[in-house]
């Protein structure tokens, strides 16, 4: 756990905010919160790790020439895909077509000198499905779909319904991380004005660690959600005050916190 102390004034002056993930973009966002007058606590409830078995992924990477499409749904997916590709000493064939969920995922792919053919306006699997509907000739196409272990299956189901042959391989997984006693005490004392949720799994992992009283406190604490799938999980967990970012990005989470909270 780490905390960034507040400055005296700002758009979030006096607020105490909790981040449940730890990454470079979140560190930058937490620093921005501090500059806006908030205290930002970073207490990850999960970490991203390799799956226990990489055999299926490695088999796919060894036969990339067999695929017509590669579809990647996150920046984390891009980083881990190309890291593993280098580990198994393979290269991405120029013939394979690429689809990405979101501009930032596409930008991450372009950093690897990859031409991205499909980037939907709506930054989720549903948006990519809508974009792919305009492309004919899916029957018999081979699609490689590397995903997180807890990723939704809508995209694969759509492609299979069109007659595509989809290899859905696990690229990474989330593993629970225990919260410190200090953070649990702060939750029990209702210290946090809002909690940022960047994935449904963050909400699940948080609630698993809380007792009944702590869960009830969290249910009444502002939840700043990165998107509709995460918001659906928050509602399922009984959280009553949910503010969803305009766009599914870390910076938009902070913008939404400014909008719904303001200074104390």
Whether domain 49-174 has CATH 3.40.50.10090? yes
Q: Most confidently modeled of 102-116, 185-199, 245-259?
A: 185-199
pLDDT value at position 8? 58
Residue 43 has pLDDT above 80, yes or no: yes
> Identical fold at 2-45+177-260 and 49-174?
yes
CA distance 168 to 226: 25
CA distance 243 to 151: 22
What confidence category does residue 7 fall into, taking pLDDT thresholds of 50, 70 and 90?
Answer: low
What is the pTM (predicted TM-score) of this model?
0.81
pLDDT digits (tens, 9 = 90+) for 49-62: 999 999 999 999 99
Whether domain 2-45+177-260 has CATH 3.40.50.10090? yes
Chain mean pLDDT for the chain = 92
CA distance 237 to 247: 23
Residue 201 has pLDDT above 80, yes or no: yes
Tell me the sheet residues that pair with 255.
none
Domain boundaries, the chain: 2-45+177-260, 49-174
Task: Note whether 239 and 216 are within 8 A (CB).
Answer: no
pLDDT digits (tens, 9 = 90+) for 228-255: 889 999 999 999 999 999 888 888 999 9
High-pLDDT (> 90) share of the chain, %: 72
């Amino acid at each position: 756990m780490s905390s960034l102390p507040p400055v005296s004034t700002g758009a979030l002056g006096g607020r105490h905010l909790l981040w449940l993930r730890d990454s470079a973009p979140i560190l930058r966002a937490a620093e921005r919160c501090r500059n806006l007058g908030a205290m930002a606590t970073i207490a990850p409830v999960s970490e991203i790790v390799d799956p226990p078995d990489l055999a299926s992924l490695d088999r796919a990477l060894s036969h990339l020439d067999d695929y017509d499409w590669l579809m990647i749904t996150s920046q984390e997916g891009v980083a881990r895909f190309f890291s593993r590709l280098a580990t198994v000493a393979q290269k991405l064939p120029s013939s394979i077509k690429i689809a990405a969920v979101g501009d930032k995922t596409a930008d991450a792919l372009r950093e690897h000198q990859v031409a991205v053919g499909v980037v939907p306006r709506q930054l989720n699997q549903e948006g990519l499905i809508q974009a792919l509907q305009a492309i004919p000739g899916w029957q018999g196409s081979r699609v490689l779909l590397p995903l997180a272990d807890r990723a939704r299956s809508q995209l694969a189901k759509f492609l299979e319904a069109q007659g595509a042959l989809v290899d859905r391989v696990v690229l990474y997984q989330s593993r629970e991380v225990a919260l410190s006693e200090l953070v649990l005490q702060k939750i029990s004392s209702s210290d946090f004005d809002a909690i940022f949720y960047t994935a449904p799994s963050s909400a699940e992992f948080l609630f698993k660690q809380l007792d009944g009283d702590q869960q009830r406190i969290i249910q009444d604490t502002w939840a700043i959600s990165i998107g509709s799938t995460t918001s659906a999980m928050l509602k399922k967990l009984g959280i009553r005050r949910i503010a969803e970012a305009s766009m599914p990005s870390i910076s938009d989470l902070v913008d939404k916190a400014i909008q719904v909270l303001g200074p104390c």
